Amino acid sequence: MEPPPGPSPTADVIIELPERGIVLVERRFPPPGWAIPGGFVDVGESVLTAARREAREETGLEVTDLELFNVYSDPARDPRRHTLTVVFIGRADGEPTAGDDAGAAGVFTEHTLPATLAFDHARVLADYFAYRRTGIRPPTR
C-alpha cells in the first residue's frame, strides 16, 4: 500500500569550515544554482544520518558537531515537489570536493555568496548569518 501523499523529507547541513566560511555545492541537475549540501531522507534513515550522509556524498567532508538549526516547509520551497527540510549546522575540516549530484563545491562567506542560490537557500542562509551575528534563532518557516 502506498503511503498517503505528502511532503518529502530532506536534510541539509550548513557546513562551517573554521576561519574560512561555509560550504555550498553547485547543483549538477535542475533546479540550477548553488545549494546547501543535503538531500532526501532514505526510508529507514534518521534526518541526522541523512544529513551526515548527504554532506559526505556531496562534499567529501565528514561533518561533526551537528546541531539542529531550523525546519523549512514552505510548499513552494522546491519547484520539483513539496518538501520540508531539517537544517543542521555542522563543522568540518579539509577541502570540499564535489561528488554525487554536485557539479562543484566551494567555500563562501556572507559577503561572497554566489548570485544564484537554489530552492529557498537565500532565506535559509540569511537566517543562518543573522543567527551567527545575534544568537537569535529564526522562526520556523
Residue 31 included in any domain: yes
Residue 37 included in any domain: yes
Residue 141 included in any domain: no
The whole-number average pLDDT for the span 100-110 is 91
How many domains does the chain fold into?
A: 1
pLDDT of amino acid 102 = 78
CATH number of the domain to which 44 belongs? 3.90.79.10
Residue 24 has what DSSP assignment? Answer: E
The tens digit of pLDDT for each residue in 1-36 reads 665 678 999 999 999 999 999 999 999 988 999 999
Q: Rounded to whole angstroms, how far apart are CA atoms 47 and 67?
A: 12
pLDDT of amino acid 137 = 92
Residue 21 included in any domain: yes
Identify residue 7 by its one-letter amino acid code: P
The tens digit of pLDDT for each residue in 54-81 reads 999 999 999 999 999 999 999 999 999 9
HEC string for 61-98: CCCEEEEEEEEECCCCCCCCCCEEEEEEEEECCCCCCC
pLDDT of amino acid 5 = 78
The whole-number average pLDDT for the span 37-61 is 97
Residue 3 included in any domain: no
Residue 107 included in any domain: yes
Residue 2 included in any domain: no
Residue 46 included in any domain: yes
The residue segments making up the domain with residue 52 are 8-134
Percentage of residues in the chain having pLDDT higher than 90: 87
Q: Roughly how many angstroms between the first and final C-alpha of the chain, as a whole number? A: 31
Longest dimension (CA), the chain: 50
